[in-house]
A and B are shown apart, each in its own frame.
Chain A
Amino acid sequence: MIFNSWVFGVFFFIVYLIYLRCGHKGQNRLLLLASYFFYGFWDYRFLVLLLISTVVDYMVGLWLEDTRDTNIRRRILAISICANLGILGYFKYCDFFIQSFADLLRLMYITPSVHTLGIILPVGISFYTFQTLSYTIDVYRGETKACRKFFDFALFVSFFPQLVAGPIERAGHLLRQIESPRILTFEKIQSGLWLILKGYFIKVFVADNLARMVDPVFASPNPSGAQALLAIYAFAFQIYGDFAGYSNIARGISHLMGFDLMVNFRTPYLATNPSDFWKRWHISLSSWLRDYLYISLGGNRKGEHRTYLNLMLTMLLGGLWHGASDKYILWGLYQGLLLIAYRWAPGVVNIKVNIPKFLQMIFYFHLTCFGWLIFRCNSIDQIGGFITKILTSFHWTIDTTHQCIAFLVLVLPVVFLDFIEEYVSGPDRFPRWNFAVRYATYAAMMLLIYVLGSRGGIQFIYFQF
């Protein structure tokens, strides 16, 4: 059941109507039931995994809170980490590691007989595993209290708006909202509706249409340089529209129910450097990696070289989080290198030129796009192929002009929305401009979704992670 489907529309309509008539306890029970139904609609067998994660971390949380001995607490935490990463590792990485090991043996002229397990990846497993892990770590660190009500905790793990593609919430934020009654306000409803409209707009109008420019080029054995370049730009906005669109809808739906999920994207392509970018892109994951991995590794407290190592390890794991594939590891490595270079360069190269912010944005956008080429490519060879084509056979045809116009039609509204979010209104609302301008914008967005927004429930890219 995906947000851009009729089934979800009817599902949410029914759930929401009942939700509005229930008290706090009833709302929580209803949401839990709805969340399990929502997840089970994909594949009911994987509900067992969700339940295992929930039960283990619920018990671990209580146990941690009732134990004072540091060594025992550490062992208890290890149970949660092993259980969660064990499930994640088995379902997400097992086949990859078997295959990689076999490849390694082949390099040593040993030909193994390889049997991968053909494991189906449960949707959203990386998201809820990280979310529930953050809970036990927070309880261990004493940053949050253990949840004593099982059903509330189960809802924290399975809350349907963010279950399958985030934002990856923290117990201190979402669990507290579950435990205490939510107050619905007119402003919350207003911002919820805006986020939903914006989310659908950038998903079904922008991202899904851009997919029509991206997919054929990456599938083509011999695209022209112009096509390749346009496809990379298009993918940058496709993945942004797709993922930020989902996050916006998730946040919007939550607002309608009185919840407040964390902001997951904050105009990422207006970033001027890698550190800035990771404060704007998939914030819930980057802050998770920072708080639970980078800092646990020592962060920047153990000297310069160790900081670089920590940065690299964190970004490598961030890359691997996206999937079991060489390209994601390479992408993580690239992001790690960017962060290290950004930290290292000012101490070594002393340049005192004041580069306008706008140019910094454009420059860093292109570095990001190179990262997206790694992320999207079908093989490592394709990266070189695309770059060679762009540099050596840049054929511009009338078809490319048409494609370029269509690209601008799709992308300029996103750029516009990002600019007003950055400089005028903030992430959750449209600026309080003149009534006519506001409603004309809403109407235009709805019309574009209706007339040109793709249908048929195209999956969100991040569901595969």
Chain B
Amino acid sequence: MIEAPPDIKLRKRLFWIVFALGLGISISGFILEKIATYSLLDYRGIKFGSYGFNLAQIPPRKDLGDKKVVVLFGNSVYQYGSIPSLMKNIIEEKGDPIVLMNMAQVSATAYDYLVQAGKIVDDRPDLVVFNLYYWTYFTTPKFATNCDQMVFDGDVIKVFPGSFYRRYFTFKTAFPAFISSVVPLKRLDPIIRWELKLRDWMPEWFLTWVSYPHLNIDQERGELQYVQRSLLNVQQEKIVFSEILALQRELLNVLDQHHIPVLFIWQETSYDTQAEMFDVINQIIAEHKNAMWVDLRHYFVKDDFEDQTHPKRGKGVHDYAIRHYTAITQALEHFEKQRSPAQ
């Protein structure tokens, strides 16, 4: 008879302890992410977001009655600027049955837009708006993106094309992205730090000699120089990266398959976009009947913008908000009409 090893009991116990510990860490992340229901707009200090991107704040359909849900994606102009809040004021004043969900992320690129779109298809918004800025849109398909952290989330993986995963992930690079999906504490970490104010007790000079990193640091190094270099190349050669075109097509296909209408706004500050590049993107949009674009570039007035990019706060911005809002309402009407004969 083979004797049981003398440490069998200890090993069994240890197995369950380690298993419970792993499971506990993973589940606590999911719970924390769900119950926190934070808005990314509350964490403006956390740039290049999508850390623990949580869309729990989209109200369930049944609570909305006949209101239409419009999801805003975009860059810092929407995230930090006052256009979205002014649009909300307009909605309140007019009493329009529209709920505006602002989920813009500073420096978002085509890659981020696709992943973010993948995150919201289950919520079936009535319109998805992408506010495009040529600088981040054309310079690089991926910037300091942390949208990688979401691509293996259940809701994203089920709607995303295989071509996307094949293009961006090898076995090695998929691993850290996958971990973010199964252990969400990794991507929640910057927000937890923000909440706990861990930096506050350290003098600034001390932080020049020690690092203050977070658990989710994988993707952030050296991207800016890359963007600056590629910006020059793209502008000189007047080309759009083929990768951006592929992402654009995938984005439109994903939204098309779920019958979600989409509006692209060429924001005012994209005024110096090369015509050749602008046309290439618009042609792709025009191929999809659930998509349209609106060009607001010719409304750019230099004095209304602080840094050639972000509109100044105050009354002057109101006109910009009205134009954005009008574009949205017209798009809603357009897609409503388009849908009506079929119904």
Contacts and interface: CB of A to CB of B under 8 A. Distances in A.
Nearest to B179: A6
Interface string B202-224: 00011011111111011001000
B18 A451 contact: no
B210 A406 contact: yes
A189 B14 contact: yes
Contacts of B15: 17, 20-21
A403 interface: yes
B172 interface: yes
A212 B221 CA distance: 15
A455 B186 CA distance: 12
A402 B205 contact: yes
B5 A405 contact: no
Nearest to A213: B209
B81 interface: no
Contact of B211 (A24, A41, A189, A452): A452
B18 A17 contact: yes
A183 B221 contact: no
B258 interface: no
B52 to A, nearest CB: 15
A10 interface: yes
Contact of A185 (B7, B198, B208): B7
B172 A209 contact: no
A285 interface: no
A13 interface: yes
Given A7-B176, A10-B179, A402-B205, A454 B213 contact: yes
A456 interface: yes
A427 interface: no
Nearest to B198: A451
Interface residues of B, number: 31
Interface in A161-208: 181, 183-186, 189, 208
Interface in A364-383: none
A16 interface: yes
Given A10-B175, A181-B5, A185-B7, A455 B209 contact: no
Contacts of A406: 206, 209-210
A410 interface: yes
A418 B37 CA distance: 46
Nearest to A398: B205
B51 to A, nearest CB: 14
B194 to A, nearest CB: 13
Interface residues of A, number: 37
Contacts of B18: 13, 16-17, 20
A454 B11 CA distance: 33
Interface string B116-143: 0000000000000000000000000000
Nearest to A456: B217
B212 A452 contact: yes
B210 A183 contact: no
A124 interface: no
A33 to B, nearest CB: 16
A17 B18 CA distance: 7
A322 B106 CA distance: 46
Contacts of B5: 23-24, 181, 183
A212 B209 contact: yes
A323 interface: no
Interface string A448-465: 000111111000000000
B10 A185 contact: yes
A89 interface: no
A184 B14 CA distance: 10
A455 B208 CA distance: 16
A258 interface: yes
B10 A456 contact: no
Contact of B210 (A13, A184, A189, A212): A212
Nearest to A22: B11
B168 interface: no
B7 A455 contact: no
Nearest to A10: B179
Interface string A14-31: 001100110110000000
Q: Which of B176, B209, B217 has the most CB of A within 10 A?
A: B209
A253 to B, nearest CB: 13
A275 B186 CA distance: 46
The 8 A-B residue pairs with the shortest CB-CB distance, nearest first, are: A406-B209, A455-B213, A20-B15, A184-B7, A455-B217, A402-B205, A456-B217, A454-B211
Interface of A: 5-7, 10, 13, 16-17, 20-21, 23-24, 41, 181, 183-186, 189, 208-209, 212-213, 258, 399, 402-403, 405-407, 409-410, 451-456
12 contacts: A6-B175, A7-B179, A10-B183, A17-B18, A21-B11, A183-B7, A184-B11, A209-B209, A213-B209, A452-B212, A454-B211, A455-B214
Given A6-B215, A402-B206, 10 more contacts: A7-B175, A10-B183, A13-B22, A17-B19, A183-B7, A184-B10, A186-B10, A406-B209, A452-B210, A456-B218
